[in-house]
Structure 1
Amino acid sequence: MADPASYRPAPGTIPTEPGVYRFRDAHDRVIYVGKAKSLRSRLNSYFTNPALLPPKTHAMVHTAARVEWTIVGSELEALQLEYTWIKEFTPRFNIMYRDDKSYPYLAVTMNEAFPRVQVMRGDRRKGVKYFGPFSPVKAIRETVDTMLRVFPVRTCSAGVFRRAERAGRPCLLGYIDKCSAPCVGNISQEDHYALAEDFVAFMSGDARRFVRQLETQMKDAVAELDYESAARYRDDIQALHKVFERNTVVLSEDTEADIFGLVEDELEAAVQVFHVRGGRIRGQRGWVVEKVDDTTEGQLVEQLLQQVYGGLDDTSRIPREVLIPFAPTNPKDISTWLTGLRGANVSVRVPQRGDKKALLETVVENAEAALKLHKVKRSGDITNRSLAIQELQEALGMEEPPLRIECFDISHVQGTNVVASMVVFEDGLPKKRDYRKFNISEEGSRDDTASMFEVITRRFANYLRQRAKTAHPVLEHADEQAADATDETLGQHEAELEEKNDKFAYPPSLVVVDGGQAQVSAANRALEELGLDAEITVVGLAKRLEEIWLPEDPFPVILPRSSEGLYLLQRVRDEAHRFAITAHRSKRSKAMIGSELDLIPGLGATKQKALRAHFKSMKRIRAASVSELQEAPGIGPKLAQTIHDHFASAEKTVAVNMTTGEVQEES
């Protein structure tokens, strides 16, 4: 790997003007393209202290062998040039949103003598009417199949059409009345063209006219007692309504907008877009991409719009409105750039209220679901899980693969209600029945390291006790009875052993703590005092740069952002954090919901519950006599007297004689 200092530009040689820069590797390949308002300020950030860079950026500057830049006249020119170079070089360290598919459209070839309905991608053709985009393609095919019942326009290719024309026999669609069969003269060229125009008019929004027309024909057929035709018209009306249901109006009918939702975590970002045309959702697309830098939300949105719209061959597909969840870093430049591409005004904005904001929230929910589904699929893939475990074994220098991983996290608010969580992953999957939470003592609540030391000590002290319990008493008992022990007796011993083998009986291969060097040292010190440091590997995962810390190692282990091993550690850490937060909130809620019964010495939670269950209300408990209190389960004469005395003394109030100023107690 190259040292960034070896190719760092000399001080003062980098211009301060806006521009675009390229990092190239030793083979002269462009590996990253970026733009900057001030080239000097931006490029210096890569070289000031490379050790503090995010992992992907750190890898990029150490992969590069040189950097070059081009000065431009404005930030808008920088935006345009940046996209041009990203499209030309497809740098490995740039976020790439576009997939290998173009937008699918429903097209009607009105430039042909016998127009054809089909799914089209790619460049638009002159004389062809386009509707959409739709996604997935299945949605287009279902819509066409329904529409052909009412508008039986041909859908066959030119070759099939000519073959049927020569044979004098229509294809299957012609026999089932889903094609008017112009190939064999069942309909004239003029009538078929008119049929295609009606299809186009319906898809353009003039649907009610055709529904009313069919309703009139159905009523006329009923009046003439032609019930067979009336039933056919009824089915046609239902078919058109079905098309309506697939394209529900969500906004005003003059709305043309693309609505983007974006959700991200430390490693990946999920994007969903709804294409609204004529007020209807015509299609939906989505991507899940790997983040390659500490990119802000605004930068993610800017790069998304660059790549989605910059690659369009037909720029008329850019809508009048682009609704986004976060403002891009340069909203005016993005809007100006899109306006230049479309040749008409394009509004780029974040909706603040109304139906458009509500629809944007729906798109964001779709993005959240897509990211969760992506992670579930990734974690559910046995190949990826095996690779993750292997990567961790190699990166941490473990003799055995970490088949059981336990992760610990501390949660509190300014040192109060401190709890710790323990989550367990086996074979790369969570084992929720082994999750545990710990209430931390007052001494352990001093700081996170003291809390971590306490929870690790308690967890593995329990393990040692369980190990000793299972290793000696049962075996000794078995040896004593070996002479006359039967298979049935041994089976009973095994059952007893299994019952005693509780949650702490199985040691992990790897212990992960949420934090850096300090937390790792505290956890390792606890294992050392228990004599387990040689058996169990302990690491910490620091959230800021996602680096892995080992005990007594001044430098962290950096795994690639695309590493399955790092992904597994993040899942384990995030699950421990979630579980700790849940436990802390529960404890804090219980602490906030205090009770007067808590003030009575000797009255614990179980007896408080028994009192409430017996008397049904605090008012009845206060009014109860000593003998009545003893009727509650677990309340003896002494405790009943204590409870009664507490409430009797609480009824006394202190009053001040306003005339004399004396304080007097009244009952």
Structure 2
Amino acid sequence: MADPSSYRPRPGEIPDSPGVYRFRDEHGRVIYVGKAKSLRQRLANYFQDLAGLHPRTRTMVTTAASVEWTVVTTEVEALQLEYSWIKEYDPRFNVKYRDDKSYPSLAVTLNEEFPRVQVMRGPKKKGVRYFGPYAHAWAIRETVDLLLRVFPVRTCSAGVFKRSAQIGRPCLLGYIGKCSAPCVGRVTAEEHRRLAEEFCDFMAGRTGTHLRRLEQEMHRAAEEMEYERAARLRDDIEALRRAMEKNAVVLADATDADLIAVAEDELEAAVQIFHVRGGRVRGQRGWVTDKVEEVTAAGLVEHALQQLYGEESGDAVPREVLVAALPEPAGPVTAWLAGRRGAAVDLRVPRRGDKRALMETVQRNAQQALVLHKTRRASDLTTRSRALEEIAEALGLDSAPLRIECFDVSHFQGDDVVASMVVFEDGLARKSEYRRFQIKGFAGQDDVRSMHEVVSRRFRRYLQERQRTGEWGTGEEPGGLPAAGAEGTGAGEGPAPAERPAGERDGGTGRERPPKFAYPPQLVVVDGGQPQVAAARRALDELGIDDVAVCGLAKRLEEVWLPGEDDPVVLPRTSEGLYLLQRVRDEAHRFAIRYQRGKRSRSLRAGPLDAVPGLGETRKQALIKHFGSVKRLRAATVDQICEVPGIGRKTAETVAAALAQAAPAAPAVNTATGEILEDQ
């Protein structure tokens, strides 16, 4: 690990002007490329105290061994040079988008003497006109098949074209009128190129001109009583209209725009792009990336614009580029896009109307792409094995943690405090073993005490079950019994503990399987930093449990904390181990939030307040929040009820009258523990 002060430039060496800088490692490889409006101010940010740097930035500057820069005249030149160097050096710490799937495009090879229409994938070639990309290759072929009636452009390969020219006989498409057969001289090279250019104009959205021309020719043929030609032109017009209908009409006919949306979490991001031409969605594509460098949504959009238009020019850059977040600053990027297009480009965030609605659709696609990518990544056996090995190595465990339990605490402004426990085995969620806890008393006012209580309750039950069942081996398949104080799982995620027998028979063997909570984890993960980790470790120590490892994952910087350590363990941002810990933590948080919200909504619904006319959910929640329970609200006077914000005297009198008439409801009881759950 290098010390950044060892290669820090001397004061006054760095110019105060726009430019591009490169960090190199000890072997001379470029590991990061960046641009700046002021090189002096930007580079100074990298050479501050390491403790003040973001973990991703800290990893980069300690990996680097030198820094160099190039001065340019404007920020636009800096943007262009940054893109060129990223393409040339492929730095490991820069955002690098990779396609989440291989998208086909419709290509017209205008760089050939006789242009060809074909489906192409992969990197773009110079002199080839591209349309799309499309979701499926068959969608392209259906569109091309319809358009060849009107624009009979060559679609055959070079080998077929050469053979037809040698034998003087066209292929089948030439005989059925879907190719102008330039191979046998039916049209000249100039005439065939004109057909290809008209094909490109139609695909680019300039459809009205061709439709009007064909309609005029059809009417002229009908007037001249050339009915067969008029019928053929009528069919051509219908074919063009069917081809147009294959793309959804979303905006005005004259709209040419690209819409770019981003979905992200702490480790990864997904970008989705919709290409709209002539008011129709002509293509869609998506990218995913690991967030190796510290980057915002605006930065992700800027990188996407560079990758999307870096090698494009002319019509490939539309008049409008609609984004989810504007790059900072937006001026240089807008000027760069205008230079690529050769005309003005409107770069903005849509705020209302159809374009805003379409952007929301693109955003949903980006979110779904990110979820799908994470699902595929999590389901890979090799990846899960590597993640468990990385966790074991980073935490100093003797073996991979095949069973991981994670705890999280959730509350609503100090009330309705609950906790969740999720279980991952072999890197996969075991939802049937999730548990949730209700926290009462003083612990509810303190996340640290709440964490201590929850971990104590879970492992106290573990000791009880181990003592009750005797000598169970930790490697045997667990059976089913809830943790102490647990209320069971949520709907759809396994049966409630009250429905489980104390011990289940192992089918076919006749002997009992051990209860689930007699089976301890190898690793306990808590959502939080040093205080929460210390509380969990203290709870285990008080119970005499010393063979279960504990760690915490802090949300803000994704640092891994160990008991008794002053400094966190910082896993690489591309680490599969960190990715697994993040998924475990996020799942515990989701499960806790779900339980807490459901519990709060039940407390608002289940009671006599529902019968009060004109009392909505917001004011019911305010009343419960102010008094703590319906029981205390029933004992309050009208004047006390009026003290609640939003409650007038007339409403207070109505509430008091309704509660006085309603009989107190019986408290809800946990059937497993006998604990009163709701104070009515």
TM band (smaller chain) = 0.7 to 0.9
Letter in 1 for 2:536: A
Q: Report the CA distance between 1:28 and its aligned residue.
A: 2.1
Find out whether 1:305 has 2:305 as its counterpart.
yes
Q: Report the CA distance between 1:444 and its aligned residue.
A: 1.5
Note the alpha carbon deviations across 1:259-311, whole angstroms, 9 max, x for none: 11111111111111112222222222211011122212222222322333233
Higher helix share: 1
Q: Which residue of structure 1 aligns with residue 491 of structure 2?
A: none
Find out whether 1:398 has 2:397 as its counterpart.
yes
Find out whether 1:583 has 2:633 as its counterpart.
no
Residues 108, 200 of structure 1: 8 Å contact kept? no
Query: Residues 576, 216 of structure 1: CA spacing in aligned structure 2 closer, same or farther, 3 A cutoff?
Result: farther
Find out whether 1:458 has 2:473 as its counterpart.
no
Q: Which residue of structure 2 aligns with residue 520 of structure 1?
A: 533
Letter in 1 for 2:167: A
Residues 104, 136 of structure 2: 8 Å contact kept? no
Letter in 1 for 2:207: G
Equivalent runs, 1:394-433 vs 2, <5 Å: 394-433=393-432
Query: Residues 181, 547 of structure 1: CA spacing in aligned structure 2 closer, same or farther, 3 A cutoff?
Result: same
In the superposition, the TM-score normalised over structure 2's length comes to 0.76
Q: Report the CA distance between 1:572 and its aligned residue.
A: 0.3
Q: Which residue of structure 1 aligns with residue 24 of structure 2?
A: 24
Residues 33, 94 of structure 1: 8 Å contact kept? yes
Residues 419, 580 of structure 1: 8 Å contact kept? yes
Letter in 2 for 1:459: R
SS of alignment partner, residue 141 of structure 2: helix
User: Which of 534, 540, 558 lines up with 1:546 in the alignment?
Assistant: 558
Find out whether 1:157 has 2:157 as its counterpart.
yes
Residues 423, 434 of structure 1: 8 Å contact kept? yes
Q: Report the CA distance between 1:137 and its aligned residue.
A: 6.7
Q: In structure 2, what is the Cα distance between the partners aligned to 1:401 and 1:509?
A: 8
Residues 270, 367 of structure 1: 8 Å contact kept? yes
Q: In structure 2, what is the Cα distance between the partners aligned to 1:77 and 1:202?
A: 35
Q: Which residue of structure 2 aligns with residue 67 of structure 1?
A: 67
Q: Report the CA distance between 1:373 and its aligned residue.
A: 0.8
Higher mean alpha-carbon deviation, 211-220 vs 265-274, is at: 211-220
Q: In structure 1, what is the Cα distance between the partners aligned to 2:115 and 2:50?
A: 62
Equivalent runs, 1:534-573 vs 2, <5 Å: 534-573=546-585
SS of alignment partner, residue 504 of structure 1: helix
Letter in 1 for 2:428: L
Find out whether 1:497 has 2:497 as its counterpart.
no
SS of alignment partner, residue 281 of structure 1: strand
Q: Which residue of structure 2 aligns with residue 469 of structure 1?
A: 468
Equivalent runs, 1:152-551 vs 2, <5 Å: 152-174=152-174, 178-179=178-179, 181=181, 183=183, 199=199, 203=203, 204-206=206-208, 208-209=211-212, 240-312=240-312, 314-471=313-470, 497-498=512-513, 501-532=514-545, 534-551=546-563
Letter in 2 for 1:423: V
Note the alpha carbon deviations across 1:453-502, whole angstroms, 9 max, x for none: 000000111111111221179xxxxxxxxxxxxxxx9989976834xx54
Higher mean alpha-carbon deviation, 88-97 vs 148-157, is at: 148-157
Letter in 2 for 1:118: Q
Query: Residues 209, 340 of structure 1: CA spacing in aligned structure 2 closer, same or farther, 3 A cutoff?
Result: closer
Q: Which residue of structure 2 aligns with residue 648 of structure 1?
A: none
Residues 18, 37 of structure 2: 8 Å contact kept? yes
Note the alpha carbon deviations across 1:303-359, whole angstroms, 9 max, x for none: 3223332333x4542222111111110111211222223221111111111111111
Q: In structure 2, what is the Cα distance between the partners aligned to 1:433 and 1:218?
A: 74
SS of alignment partner, residue 366 of structure 1: helix
Q: In structure 2, what is the Cα distance between the partners aligned to 1:415 and 1:54?
A: 31
Q: In structure 2, what is the Cα distance between the partners aligned to 1:44 and 1:496?
A: 69
Q: Which residue of structure 2 aligns with residue 574 of structure 1?
A: 586
Q: Which residue of structure 1 aligns with residue 8 of structure 2?
A: 8
Unaligned runs of 5+ in 2: 473-503, 610-628, 633-656, 670-680
Query: Residues 191, 339 of structure 1: CA spacing in aligned structure 2 closer, same or farther, 3 A cutoff?
Result: closer
Query: Residues 151, 18 of structure 1: CA spacing in aligned structure 2 closer, same or farther, 3 A cutoff?
Result: closer
Residues 443, 450 of structure 2: 8 Å contact kept? yes
Letter in 1 for 2:252: S
Residues 505, 511 of structure 2: 8 Å contact kept? no
Residues 217, 233 of structure 1: 8 Å contact kept? no
Residues 170, 183 of structure 1: 8 Å contact kept? yes
Q: In structure 1, what is the Cα distance between the partners aligned to 2:17 and 2:286?
A: 36
Residues 23, 67 of structure 1: 8 Å contact kept? yes
Q: Report the CA distance between 1:587 and its aligned residue.
A: 1.9
Q: Report the CA distance between 1:400 and its aligned residue.
A: 2.3
Query: Residues 523, 283 of structure 1: CA spacing in aligned structure 2 closer, same or farther, 3 A cutoff?
Result: same
Find out whether 1:142 has 2:142 as its counterpart.
yes
Letter in 2 for 1:382: L
Letter in 1 for 2:586: D
Q: Report the CA distance between 1:415 and its aligned residue.
A: 1.9
Q: Report the CA distance between 1:216 and its aligned residue.
A: 8.7
Q: In structure 2, what is the Cα distance between the partners aligned to 1:272 and 1:382?
A: 28
Q: Report the CA distance between 1:158 and its aligned residue.
A: 4.1
Higher mean alpha-carbon deviation, 151-160 vs 49-58, is at: 151-160
SS of alignment partner, residue 573 of structure 1: helix
Residues 104, 137 of structure 1: 8 Å contact kept? no
Q: In structure 1, what is the Cα distance between the partners aligned to 2:354 and 2:370?
A: 25
Query: Percent identity of the aligned residues?
Result: 57
Higher mean alpha-carbon deviation, 539-548 vs 203-212, is at: 203-212
Letter in 2 for 1:345: A
Letter in 2 for 1:85: W
In the superposition, the TM-score normalised over structure 1's length comes to 0.77
Q: Report the CA distance between 1:369 and its aligned residue.
A: 1.1
Residues 108, 115 of structure 1: 8 Å contact kept? yes
Q: In structure 1, what is the Cα distance between the partners aligned to 2:193 and 2:14?
A: 64
Letter in 1 for 2:337: L
Q: Which residue of structure 1 aligns with residue 41 of structure 2?
A: 41
Higher mean alpha-carbon deviation, 250-259 vs 516-525, is at: 250-259
Letter in 2 for 1:117: V
Q: In structure 2, what is the Cα distance between the partners aligned to 1:272 and 1:524?
A: 44
Letter in 2 for 1:400: S
